[in-house]
Amino acid sequence: MKHRVPSVLVAALLVSSSIIGLATAQPPRPGTETNGLTENESATLWSRDSDRYVSQQAYQQQYGDDRTALHQLANGTDITFTRPPATAATWTRNDFADLDAGGPDTSTYPPHASLEDGTFIDDAHATIFAVTPSTRGHLDAGETPLYIAPNGTVRGLVDYRVRVPTGNETGNQTVDWALVSHEIENTRLKIDGITVASTAGTHTPELQYHTTHSWSANLTLEATISVRLKKTVETTVGGESEATVNYRTETRTVSDTLDAEIYDLAAYPYYAQYPNGDTGVAIFQSRPWQGYTLTDDETSRVRGVWRFYTARNTNWDTLVTSTGTSTTTEQSDAIPVRVHAYPSQIGPRAEPVRDGPDIIDTWGADRASPRETIGENVTVEVVNQSYTPTYGLAVRAESVDREALRVGGIVRGVNATIVDPQVGSARQLRESNLSVELVSQTTSNATLRVELRDNQTGAPIASNGSDRQYPIGGPSHSGYITVGDQRVETNESGVAVVTLDEPGIYTVRYHPGTWLGHDPAYVGDTASVRWHPLGTLDGWVAFVFEVGWQAIPFVVTFYAGRRLLRMFGPTDSDYRNQ
C-alpha cells in the first residue's frame, strides 16, 4: 500500500490533529498522485478540504516546486462546474486499486460498515465504495437524493476474518482446530431485490449493471462468504492414540444497501414561431436537469439553476483493521470522490451571454435552500433562500436546430430521450396591438384608456381570463399590462382604465402569458403617453393661481419693506447736505 502525501492545504490541521489522535484522510497534493488526472484536474476535486490559503512563496519553500494557477486558486476556495465533470469517476476508478483487504485473520472495513459475526466468521461485511456515474442532489434541507445512471459501475469492499477455535487438552483427549479453506463465493448486485449483475468472489468487486428500473430503488451489494475448518480429536488409551477428524463449515451472506434514484430522462419539447421568425422552445423534465443545446455546434445553449462541485466521501477517510486481539484505525489509501449538484445563486443562464437565446420563463415548485446539507469546508454560491428548481425552461432564439436538440442531465453521461408530442409543428404566435389614450385630466390626476387587440384580426385581447396550467403543473398568469409601476388587466373588450396621480412620461407594456398555455398566443407590445397638468387651459389657470397665491407673502414683505424704508430711511435732502 502506498501512503498519501498530506496536502499543504491542510498541513497545519494535520500537525495539530497528530497531537490528539489520528488525522482524517485528506486529498493528496496535486501532482503527487494523478490517478489518471492532470494536476489541474486533481486540484478541482477536493471541495471538502480546508481552504486555508498558503502563499506561492511558502508553497515553493516547503515543496521545492511551483503550482499551477488553478491549483493555487483551489487552495483558497472551491471550484464549481456548469456540467457534471468526469474527474470524480476517473479518480474513483483509479484510486479504488489502492483498496486492500486483510488476510484470513484480519478484517478491514470503513467505520460505517455493517459488521456481522457468526460461529467462525467474524467482522464480515460487504460495503459499497462508490457508484459511478452518480450525483448527490441537494434539493432542499430535507431532500438529498443520490441519482445514479441507468448504466454504471458499483465498486465495493468485502472482507472478514476467520476465528479458529483454540485447541485444548483434557484428560486423554487433545483437540486441534485448523483452517482448511476460506473464500468469497460470489458477489451480486441487486436493485429492489432483483439481481442485475454478479461476479466471482473477490474482496474488491466491480460490477457493471444495466437497468430499465426507474425512480426510487434500493441498490444492494451482496456477498456470500464460506469457511471450512478441520477439527481433530486425538484420544490416547493404553499408550495407543486414535484420531477422529471432523470438518465444520459456515456460510454467511453479508450486504450493504444504498437508497438511490435511477436517473433516466425523457424530455418533452414544445415549439413556437414568433412573427419576426424567431423560434421558441420549452422543455420540461420532472427531475433536476442541467440544460439543453439549440445548435449542432453547441454554441447556443441554456442551462438551469444547477451547478456542480466534487468532494470526497468522508465515510472512507479511515479504515479499521480488526484481529482477534486488537483493532487499529489508519488513514485510508482509497478515497472515493462524488459529484454534487446544488441550486446556484447565479441562476439560469443562456450562452452566448449577449447574442444567445433569451430565457423567457422558468417553472418549478419553490423549494427551501439546501445550504445546510452542503457540509463543512465547502465554499460554493448555493442559494440562501427559496428558489425555483427550473424543471421547465423556455427560451426564444434566432435559430433552433431541432435535430441537434440535446438535453443534458445532472448525472454525467445521461442525456434525455427527446419525446416530441408536436413533431413538425410549432405554435404560431401573433402580434398584439397596444394603444393608450389620455381621455381626461385635472390638475391632480389623469385618466388613461388602454386598449389591447389582436394585430391581425382586430379582436380584443382580455388579460383577465382564468389562470392556465403549464404542462408540468403550477399556476400561470394569463398576461397583464404595466403602466409605470402599476399592473392592470384588460376586460373582455380588451380595455383597461388607469388613473395617474403623478405627472410624467409613462411606458405602457403588454406582458403576454406563456404561449404554452394559451391559444392563440401573443407577443408583447409597448406604447407611451405623457401627462402634465400644464397640458390644459385649466392647468395653466390653476398654475397661475397657485403661483400668485404662493407669491403673496413675498409681495407683502417687499411692500412693507419699502414703506418702512421711506418712513425711517434717509431723505434726498440728507444726501444734498452732505
As a whole number of angstroms, the distance between CA 306 and CA 342 comes to 6
As a whole number of angstroms, the distance between CA 498 and CA 178 comes to 97
Q: What pLDDT does 566 receive?
A: 66
- SS3 call for 514: coil
Q: What pLDDT does 26 receive?
A: 60
| H or E stretch covering 172 | none
Phi/psi of residue 71, each to 5°?
-60, -40
The grid coordinates of residue 193 equal 431485490
Whole-angstrom distance between the N-terminal and C-terminal Cα of the chain? 118
Per-residue pLDDT of the chain (578 residues; tens, 9 = 90+): 444 433 333 333 333 333 233 334 566 766 677 788 988 888 899 898 777 767 777 777 777 777 778 877 877 788 999 999 999 999 999 999 999 998 999 999 999 999 999 999 999 999 999 999 999 999 999 899 999 999 999 999 999 999 999 988 888 889 999 999 999 999 999 999 999 999 998 999 999 999 888 789 999 999 999 999 999 999 888 778 888 999 999 999 999 999 999 998 888 888 888 898 898 898 888 889 999 998 888 889 999 999 999 999 999 999 999 998 899 999 999 999 999 999 999 999 998 888 889 998 888 889 999 999 998 889 899 999 999 999 989 999 988 888 888 899 999 999 887 776 555 467 788 899 999 998 888 877 889 899 999 998 899 988 765 444 445 444 445 688 999 888 888 888 889 999 888 888 889 999 887 787 777 888 889 998 888 765 554 544 554 555 566 667 766 676 666 666 666 666 555 545 55
As a whole number of angstroms, the distance between CA 319 and CA 327 comes to 10
The grid coordinates of residue 177 equal 482446530
Rounded to 10 degrees, the C-alpha dihedral 350/285/44/151 comes to: -140
- SS3 call for 154: strand
Q: What pLDDT does 57 receive?
A: 76
As a whole number of angstroms, the distance between CA 515 and CA 394 comes to 10
| H or E stretch covering 74 | helix 69-76
Q: Which contacts (CB < 8 Å, 24+ apart) does range 34-41 have?
A: 35/90, 35/91, 35/94, 35/95, 36/90, 36/91, 36/93, 36/94, 37/87, 37/90, 37/91, 39/67, 39/68, 39/71, 40/68, 40/70, 40/71, 41/87, 41/90
As a whole number of angstroms, the distance between CA 205 and CA 186 comes to 9
Phi/psi of residue 559, each to 5°?
-65, -45
Q: Of 465, 144, 412, nearest to 289 (Cα)?
A: 412
Phi/psi of residue 135, each to 5°?
-145, 130
Q: What pLDDT does 412 receive?
A: 95
Q: What Rg do the C-alpha atoms of the chain give, in angstroms?
A: 38
Q: Cβ(283)–Cβ(472) under 8 Å?
A: no
Q: Of 180, 167, 257, 183, nearest to 221 (Cα)?
A: 257
As a whole number of angstroms, the distance between CA 215 and CA 147 comes to 9
The grid coordinates of residue 3 equal 501512503
Say which residue the cell 430503488 belongs to: 217
pTM: 0.80
**Domain coordinates in residue numbering, the chain:** 1-79, 80-262, 266-427, 429-535, 545-576
As a whole number of angstroms, the distance between CA 399 and CA 418 comes to 19
- What CATH topology corresponds to 429-535? Immunoglobulin-like (2.60.40)
As a whole number of angstroms, the distance between CA 133 and CA 93 comes to 11
